[in-house]
Amino acid sequence: MYVESLDEALEHFDISKYDSPFIIPTETVYGIAARIDREEALRQIFAIKGRPSDNPLIVHISSLSMLRKIIKGNIPHQYQTLIHKFWPGPLTLIFECSDSLSPVIRGNALGTVAVRMPSCPKLRDLIDKIGEPLAAPSANTSGSPSPTTVQHVIDDFGDRVAHYIDGGPCQIGLESTVFGIINGEPLLLRPGGITREAIENALGYKIKVQSKTQAGEKIICPGQKYRHYSPSATVYLFKGPNWQSTMAKYAGEFNGKSLGVLGRRNDEYPFKYSHYFELGSDTKECCKNLFAGLRELDKSCDVIFIKTLSLDHEGLAIMDRLEKASTHIVE
């Protein structure tokens, strides 16, 4: 395994290094990447992550001309507004996909492709030099918390990936927002780095949030149906206004176990716990630290306690991850 910085990757550019899966830093989370024209490498991504084969890969581009090569037809006008406002950045859009795209990317009955343009200019330079879009899901073992440092990825994949590019800790820390106009209906399929309010402001109308698939509903975003972001520890999410007394009551039941608190600055936790990880005070800081906190506490705790956040702005994305990471939700 070797690890290099983005600067080194650009300076000592060697196209043959990109024939197998490699790790890239993005502003959201680290990704495990392969060129979209390298079928064997794309297949290896599924194997390394343990990813179900019906969960398609998102594609990263560095220019609109790259986008036009992989989609069918024109860019819908609502998307043009969003692209103008939010690209490059943490917004993934669902397009009808070109028939020329590898079946491994199209590998589902949806006939669509999810695309985003990452905000880091050096990563876009690298995609430009490679000359092909990169498919890159989050670089974690399927189901576990996403990685926000290169060490998190090494912890999950080790030598199973040969080439790591280190860009330092991710700025945002939660995955991109996934948005699509599906059969004419604007749907927020995964809350993330761009808030629902920001998208609604740009479009001038309200959008529906459909980040969970209900029983019997047609699956539009396959990732929704799998358990996600979960450490091995048991995670309790406390929802009610009396969370402090409820937490204290539950804490009493875990005497002798290693209890961790994923806490907010200035909150008081009036009971005994063995580990504490501070998420920060504002929601942006909480986004940045959430996955690192889950991974850190998971190293030493049997049980992790977290309290809920309000569902507006960045809170919606954090709560989506927390609900999917939790084993128990205490109302």
Residues forming the site for ligand TXA (CB under 6 A)? 26, 28-29, 31, 55-56, 58, 90, 92, 94, 110, 112-114, 136-138, 175-176, 178, 189-190, 220-223
Residue 112 binds: one of ligand TXA, Mg ion, none (C-beta under 5 to 8 A by kind)? ligand TXA
Q: Alpha helix (H) ranges present in the chain?
A: 6-11, 39-49, 64-70, 77-86, 103-106, 121-130, 150-157, 196-203, 243-252, 283-300, 314-325
The identity of residue 191, as a single letter, is: P
3-state secondary structure of 181: strand
Find tokens 């539009």 and name the residue. 220
- For the CB of residue 181, give the shortest distance to Mg ion in the complex, in Å: 22
Query: Which of these ranges, 80-88, 132-140, 260-268, 285-293, lies near Mg ion under the rule CB under 5 A?
Result: 132-140
Question: Vertex 142, ends 164 and 24: CA angle to 5°?
Answer: 20
Judged by CB under 5 A, the residue of 92, 138, 144, 171 near Mg ion is: 138
Q: Of these partners, ligand TXA, Mg ion, none, which one is at the site of residue 167 (CB under 5 to 8 Å by kind)?
A: none
Write down the least CB distance from residue 222 to ligand TXA, Å: 4
Query: Which residue is at the shortest CB distance from ligand TXA?
Result: 223
To ligand TXA, the closest distance from the beta carbon of 197 in angstroms equals 19
Q: What residue type is 114 in one-letter code?
A: A
d(CA 262, CA 278): 6
Count residues binding Mg ion (CB under 5 A).
1
Phi, psi of 300 (to 5 degrees): -125, -5
Sign of dihedral through CA atoms 135, 140, 143, 146? negative
Examine residue 148 and tell whether it contacts Mg ion (CB under 5 A).
no
Q: Which is nearer to ligand TXA, 6 or 29 (CB)?
A: 29
26 counts as binding Mg ion under rule CB under 5 A: no
The first and second tokens of residue 326, run together, are 């939790």
55 binds, among Mg ion, ligand TXA, none (CB under 5 to 8 A by kind): ligand TXA
Q: Tell me which residues touch Mg ion (CB under 5 A).
A: 138
